[in-house]
Amino acid sequence: MARDSYAQKTQQRSSRGKSLVRATAMCRGEGVGYVAFETLVPSAELAAIARVKGGGQVPCDLIPHDGPGSWVAVVPLLAKEITIDVLMEGQVIGRLEFPALRSKVRSRLLTATKPQIAQALRGMEQRVRWGWPLVQITEAFPSTEGNVVWRVRASFPTDDATLPVGLEAFDDRGVRLSATVFVLEDHVVPNVRDASQEERLVTCSCVLPESVQSFYVIASLTDDQTLAGFAGMNAPRAQGMLADARLRIAGAAADSEYGLWFQTHRVTKAELERQRRMAAELDAAKAPLISVVMPVFRPDAAFVREAIESVLRQSYGQWELVVVNASGACEPVDAVLRGVSDTRVRVLEVENRSIAENTNAGIAAAQGDYVAFLDHDDVLEPDALWHYVQAIGQNSQVDLLYCDEDRLGEGGVRTPAFKTFPNYGKLYTHNYITHLLMVSRFVLDHTERTDVALSGAQDYDLTLKAFEVARNVVHVPRVLYHWRDHEGSTAGGGDQKPYAHEAGRNALEAHLARRGIAAYVVDGPLPYTYDVRYELTDFLPKVSIVIPTRDHPDLLSACVCSILERSTYARFQIVLVENGSQDERTFALYDQLCARDDRVRVVTWEPPEPGAFNYSALVNYGVEHTSGEYVVLLNNDTEVIEPEWIEELLRCFARPEVGVVGAKLLYADGLVQHVGLVANPNGDFCHVCQNVEGGALGPAYAVAMPGDYSMVTGACQMVRRSVFDELGGYSERLAVGFNDGDFCLRARERGYVSTVAAHAVLYHREFASRGRERTDARLRERYLSEKGRMLVRHAEFFSAGDAVLNPNLDGFGTYFELGE
């Protein structure tokens, strides 16, 4: 009675124009603004309606704060003033304002005078209690045509998975933007704060022009937005997120901190002295003679002097430097050479012919057990030969060695090339070996010298030939070579020596012919890069596509229809492995697909226990019912983009060492989901270059060009049926996770290679049909159990570390970023 009387009096005061609310603080956060206020009705349930000045309604959250009658209104940051009407039982009891300009002043003042209050207000919408929708703009990635892909994550306090997902974007004046929206993930999971409650987690992509940097998004599950939340973005934060994404995506090669990193990682004076003492104590029989061949043709005298001095400074002393001087009468070069008194330096005067012939002359004159190659304007680190000899000491049958390198210019060192393990997949796209190339006498005795027609690519030609005969190839993961970047050098750009590009293509074609691989080579996306096109003229095997599936008929329909409608390769069959579907639409779809095309069939897997799920068992069961020479294991949440995807996968098997082939998979927003798997130091599998724009080159060219990896994802994985049978299929002890990587690692143990066909492109709606372990506690126990089995089964691999990742890089990064 007394309470009703009080409420009536407060409504009467409000009706007479007397506000029942009083603003107590105001500040700005990252994309949102906060107005703290008090009300004269402490126990009342309040609502709020916010409007932009001269415009329509904008979102506003009311959050209880700091005791009865204390609230905070949260609104997006706009370029115009916002008015906030506070309502009690549908009646306006007061109005608050959030002015665009004055809010900046008041926010700075609050931060300066009452920092604890400002800190408590900022981000409070992210710390609210269970029962509130929570929306976050989590990531930004540059995309095509000047667009940005913004990733938005929303959690809703509901277990209703049928409510439609909505996402809208508005500019800083409250005007709706024309945004392209994709729903990437949508799952009902236990709440992280209270496992007895469930919440619905939704991840979306929102594609906007990069020019839009101040905006807000509203995520909702109902048309009337009664179950909705919002998140804001301001220009400074947007610019920071984009700059950070671009820096990470560029990888180590573009890291501005590389010069400092190198100085802290290069050899110390004390270590050099230790190496010299140990080298002097080596048994002569165990100290191989290293011949360094350096063709010289009229370089800058200072450059050639520095190159020679870098050899003279080597901590390992059992070397000879063969200077093949083709400069003719050139006093600056002659003066440098006359000034060298070390007897280990031999100068071979030759008539200038071609770089290939001059190099061959140096090889013929070399007396060493190993021959290394140094350009006349480049520089070796003083411990370069020491580390090479150490590698030889660990394996006497090493026949080719290479190391990491960088570019040397007027400003110092930059653009490091941290190389990967020896693999044909990358070598067929460009000469990633380059410097410091060193080969054994065994290689030289078993290969022919480079023909004059391949001048400019003599190093690539020798590398390819060495790969053909080498007993072991070793990568020394240290920056030991500095490639000088100056006008006239290929380090300075692709237009310096166009003949070298053509020579490289010819050398690669000749190598493929020697291996008996039917292929031709076209230009890659950059100078000195190539694209090997393997012939399929006499190679048209039957391909069996196995798709395990349970419900999600919309996903399955898109997947199978894209195969039937877009694939240019016709000799295939599709085996759908039914596994406990409940949705009647799924069985109707099976009938439709089988009736549409007789290449489609359905087989039903019966689990050992009702409701059990074992993806590996589904795969094995499906493969048992195939008749193709090659098998594609395909997820039901994929969709074909490239019509020749089957041909592109098949072409990789022209390389006899290839056992498993993966595809380039993209999210619906066009960003990369998969171009190869690596294992991080914790034993988790990570997708390299994830969220890079699908048409970009990517760090280390990993998005645009093929390459070999330790593993490729089973979301789209082609394998020879004979190899699948040889390995005993997927391990059924790994029911859900790690089974695809385990399969690749077991293939690796048998001598097979896993590679990625960069031109076989599909969409993959990853986790669309099953949850993500890190957001679903129910899946985490199983994940950790299967991870443990993986670590035990492949202990040697995990102990050594994934060779795809250079140890100088961040083992937990996905963009080949600089390590510690």
Buried b (16+ CB within 10 A) or exposed e, 579-597: bebeeeebeebbeebeeee
Q: Which pair of tokens denotes residue 450?
A: 């480079």
pLDDT confidence of 145, banded at 50, 70, 90? Answer: confident
> How far is 90 from 796, CA to CA, in rounded Å?
68
Q: What is the biggest distance separating any 2 CA atoms in the chain, rounded to whole angstroms?
A: 113
Average pLDDT over residues 673-696: 94
Min mean pLDDT across 558-572, 702-716, 750-764, 775-789 is at 775-789
How many degrees, rounded to 5, is the angle at CA 475 between CA 471 and CA 476? 130
pLDDT confidence of 19, banded at 50, 70, 90? Answer: confident
pLDDT confidence of 119, banded at 50, 70, 90? Answer: very high
Is the separation of the CB atoms in 423 and 700 below 8 Å? no
Q: What is the pLDDT of residue 336?
A: 96
Q: What is the pLDDT of residue 74?
A: 96
CB burial of residue 180 (10 Å; 0-12, 13-18, 19+): middle
Give percent helix, percent strand, percent coil of the chain, each to the nearest 5. Answer: 30, 30, 40
Q: What is the pLDDT of residue 501?
A: 96
Strand, coil or helix: 483: strand
Q: What is the pLDDT of residue 192?
A: 75
* Nearest of 706, 788, 713 to residue 744 by alpha carbon: 713
Per residue in 600-622, pLDDT (tens digit) is: 999 999 988 887 889 999 999 99
Q: What is the pLDDT of residue 617?
A: 96
- CA dihedral of 189, 590, 616, 608, whole degrees rounded to 10: 90
Q: What are the DSSP E strand ranges found in 511-637?
A: 519-523, 530-534, 543-549, 572-578, 600-604, 630-634
Average pLDDT over residues 307-326: 97
Q: Which pair of tokens denotes residue 504?
A: 């490289």
Q: What is the pLDDT of residue 6?
A: 36
Q: What is the pLDDT of residue 167?
A: 96
pLDDT greater than 50 at residue 481: yes
Between 769 and 122, residue with greater pLDDT: 122
pLDDT greater than 50 at residue 11: no
Q: What is the pLDDT of residue 5?
A: 41
pLDDT confidence of 1, banded at 50, 70, 90? Answer: very low
> How far is 309 from 298, CA to CA, in rounded Å?
17
> How far is 92 from 86, CA to CA, in rounded Å?
6
Is the separation of the CB atoms in 135 and 204 below 8 Å? no
Buried b (16+ CB within 10 A) or exposed e, 448-475: ebbbeebbbbbbbbbbbbbbebbeebbb
Per residue in 621-651, pLDDT (tens digit) is: 999 999 999 999 999 999 999 999 999 999 9
Range list of H helices, 751-776: none
Average pLDDT over residues 357-367: 97
Q: What is the pLDDT of residue 382?
A: 98
Average pLDDT over residues 308-335: 96
* Nearest of 284, 434, 297, 268 to residue 362 by alpha carbon: 297
Which of 128-137, 224-233, 439-448 has the highest mean predicted lDDT (pLDDT)?
A: 439-448
**Cis before 593? omega within 30:** no
pLDDT greater than 80 at residue 518: yes
Strand 345-349 vs strand 319-325: parallel, antiparallel, or unpaired?
Answer: parallel
Between 704 and 68, residue with greater pLDDT: 704
Question: Amino acid letter at 459?
Answer: D
CA 607 from centre of chain: 36
Question: Amino acid letter at 675?
Answer: V
Q: What is the pLDDT of residue 592?
A: 97
Strand 600-604 vs strand 180-190: parallel, antiparallel, or unpaired?
Answer: unpaired
SS (H, E, C) 180-205: EEEEEEEEEEECCCCCCCEEEEEEEE
Would you tell me the crossing angle of helices 553-566 and 584-596 to the nearest 10 degrees? 10
Question: Amino acid letter at 464?
Answer: L
> How far is 71 from 88, CA to CA, in rounded Å?
13
Phi, psi of 432 (to 5 degrees): -80, -10
Q: What is the pLDDT of residue 650?
A: 97
Min mean pLDDT across 42-56, 196-210, 226-240, 382-396 is at 42-56
pLDDT confidence of 17, banded at 50, 70, 90? Answer: low
* Nearest of 144, 155, 166, 150 to residue 206 by alpha carbon: 150
pLDDT greater than 90 at residue 42: no
CB-based contacts of 70, cutoff 8 Å, min separation 6:
24, 36, 37, 38, 64
Q: Which residue has the tokens 């490639």?
A: 483
Average pLDDT over residues 500-515: 97
Q: Which residue has the tokens 């929102």?
A: 206
> How far is 14 from 12, CA to CA, in rounded Å?
5
Is the separation of the CB atoms in 109 and 102 below 8 Å? no
Average pLDDT over residues 788-809: 93
pLDDT confidence of 194, banded at 50, 70, 90? Answer: confident
Q: Which residue has the tokens 């990252």?
A: 30
* Nearest of 617, 613, 645 to residue 630 by alpha carbon: 645
Q: Work out the mean pLDDT of the chain and round it to a whole number.
A: 92
Report the first-to-last Cα separation within the chain, whole angstroms: 69
pLDDT greater than 70 at residue 390: yes
Q: What is the pLDDT of residue 286?
A: 78
> How far is 577 from 601, CA to CA, in rounded Å?
9
pLDDT greater than 80 at residue 27: yes
pLDDT confidence of 4, banded at 50, 70, 90? Answer: very low
pLDDT confidence of 785, banded at 50, 70, 90? Answer: confident
pLDDT greater than 90 at residue 344: yes
CA 687 from centre of chain: 6
Q: What is the pLDDT of residue 103?
A: 95
